[in-house]
Amino acid sequence: MKKVLGLLIVATTFAFSVVPASAQEPPQQPEASQPRTPKPMHDPFGSMFPPEMVMQNQRELGLSDQQKTYLRTEIGKTSARFNDLQWQLHDAMEVLHETMKASQVNEQQALAQLDRVLETEREIKRLHMELAIKIKNNLTPEQQQKLFSMRRVRDPGARGMGPGHGPGHGPGDGPGVRRPGGPGMGPGAGPPRPPQPNF
């Protein structure tokens, strides 16, 4: 009897110690799909010229009197509109800030106010692009080529109007940005005030 009991214990121990190889291997995790790195965004201002760059090189570019008058008029109009929009943006931001301070935020009211902030920022960005297009369209191909060459010599990494040039906020400027001046077309940068023409 003792012999049978001993054999039973040995058999049981052996049975638990021999585990199929498949059970010993850790479960295979499905290969996680590698997240795709998004392609770098193309800077729409990479082919544009900041107004101050044109103004500072007007003689070298050989701007005509007609070009100077046009640029002075457009930059002046843009500056005035930009200042109006900055006042609107700051006012809308203050209202949104007050709305969000409440212990119980009125969701509908807050989101409606956020829409006003975002719409003003969109208009500022559009104003920025509009001025950039008008400046470029007023230059001859030869003048544009000169500006491209100047930019490459002075700043090889420059990409056009880019961050902080001209009126408007840029990508990266969210509704929490409260500054009077630049897309910041770089993250968190705000635009400087449009330069005053001195043609």
The answer to whether residue 39 is domain-embedded is: no
The answer to whether residue 25 is domain-embedded is: no
Q: Read off the pLDDT band of 29 (50, 70, 90).
A: low
Give the separation between CA 11 and CA 71, rounded to whole angstroms: 97
The answer to whether residue 29 is domain-embedded is: no
The answer to whether residue 88 is domain-embedded is: yes
pLDDT score for 13: 44
pLDDT score for 139: 96
pLDDT above 60 for 87? yes
The answer to whether residue 4 is domain-embedded is: no
pLDDT score for 26: 55
The answer to whether residue 181 is domain-embedded is: yes
pLDDT score for 169: 39
- By residue range, what is the domain housing residue 73? 45-199
**What H or E segment, with its residue span, contains residue 95?**
helix 65-101
The answer to whether residue 192 is domain-embedded is: yes
Give the separation between CA 153 and CA 53, rounded to whole angstroms: 13
pLDDT above 90 for 160? no
> How many domains are there within the chain?
1
Q: Over the stretch 42-65, which tens digit does the pLDDT of each residue have?
A: 666 778 999 999 999 999 999 999
